[in-house]
Amino acid sequence: MIAVKVLATILLVSLTFGAGLQVDRDNLKAILKRFGLLGRALLANFVIVPILGIAIVKLFRLPLPIATGVLLMAIAPGVPLVLAQVRKRGGSLSLAVELAFILPLLSIVTVPLTAALVLPDQIKAELPLGQFAVTLVLFQLLPLVLGMAVGERFPKAAARLAGPCNIIFFVAAIALFGLLGKAILHGIESVYGSRGMLAMLTLTLLSMATGWLLGGPDVRDRRILGIGTMLRNIGLASLIATTTLRSSEIAAAVLTYLLIQFIVATLFGAFFTRRAKEATA
């Protein structure tokens, strides 16, 4: 189990450090001045998606471990490195990169509060909020701030480090899948048998629709906010599942959600890329 915890920690640190590397102060200031768009982005990620998660868990009557995995993903916004790459899909560069920083930063405060509100009572009783907060500060806030500092002082080095952060994330994810292979297979069977996969797909699509509808009139902002809202923070959710809750079943549900959102994001990304090329042509 120690190896699983280490890999989950590496997932989160590589995500948040990579997000910090890509922060640009000028772009950040520009986004902060777009109060309407920023407010809608925060509303979508911190309020609407968790509410949708609660509704879907109840609607599909999911078993406790699967429901907990779905809710962990619902309350954990933002996949920083992936979100930043969405700019290649014909989206807004500044919005993609800065949301990749803002969402993880604010979630340090919002996730413990939201977890206390939305997680099942049995899980909340096992959730040490003090340890939870310390985990977020150590493995999400500090790498985020460190990445931002490196990006500002050593921009060339930051550009070279972005690729390795991506590689580390994917290697850690593959290794985590390997270590939890049996639990994941069992979890997928449980998820499938409980209509969990359908519930996860439903939440993924509704999250995409939420971001798209709140993205405003600019199609580039819609693309970024749509996919950015759909993609939840696998690093944070898996770290909570493995270190705080110490449940391989919940971790398996989280990783199953990851597979579903990855497939859906790939399909939407390919569609947006084609539309962007057509528009350019």
Query: For residues 239 and 8, is the Cβ–Cβ distance under 8 A?
Result: yes
Tokens of 60: 């599909």
Task: Assess if residue 240 is contained within a domain.
Answer: yes
3-state secondary structure of 77: strand
Closest CA to 137 of 112, 157, 162, 155: 112
Domain span at residue 141? 2-273
Task: Assess if residue 281 is contained within a domain.
Answer: no
Model-level pTM? 0.83
Query: For residues 148 and 140, is the Cβ–Cβ distance under 8 A?
Result: no
Residue range 221-229: average pLDDT? Answer: 88
Task: Assess if residue 104 is contained within a domain.
Answer: yes
Instruction: Give tens-digit pLDDT for 130-141.
Output: 777 787 888 888
CATH number at residue 118: 1.20.1530.20
pLDDT in the model for residue 193:
61
- Mean pLDDT (the chain) is 82
* pLDDT of 87 over the 70 cut: no
Quote the number of domains for the chain.
Answer: 1
3-state secondary structure of 11: helix
Residue range 19-28: average pLDDT? Answer: 74
pLDDT in the model for residue 55:
97
Instruction: Give tens-digit pLDDT for 156-213.
Output: 888 888 888 888 888 888 887 777 766 666 656 655 566 888 999 999 999 999 999 9
Q: Give the range among 12-21, 91-100, 201-210 with minimum mean pLDDT.
A: 91-100
Task: Assess if residue 278 is contained within a domain.
Answer: no
pLDDT in the model for residue 123:
85
Task: Assess if residue 280 is contained within a domain.
Answer: no
Task: Assess if residue 21 is contained within a domain.
Answer: yes
Assign residue 195 a region (left: φ > 0; alpha: ψ between -120 and 50; beta: otherwise): left
Query: For residues 214 and 41, is the Cβ–Cβ distance under 8 A?
Result: yes
Task: Assess if residue 279 is contained within a domain.
Answer: no
Distances, alpha carbon 155 to alpha carbons 21, 104, 200, in Å: 8, 21, 38
Task: Assess if residue 35 is contained within a domain.
Answer: yes
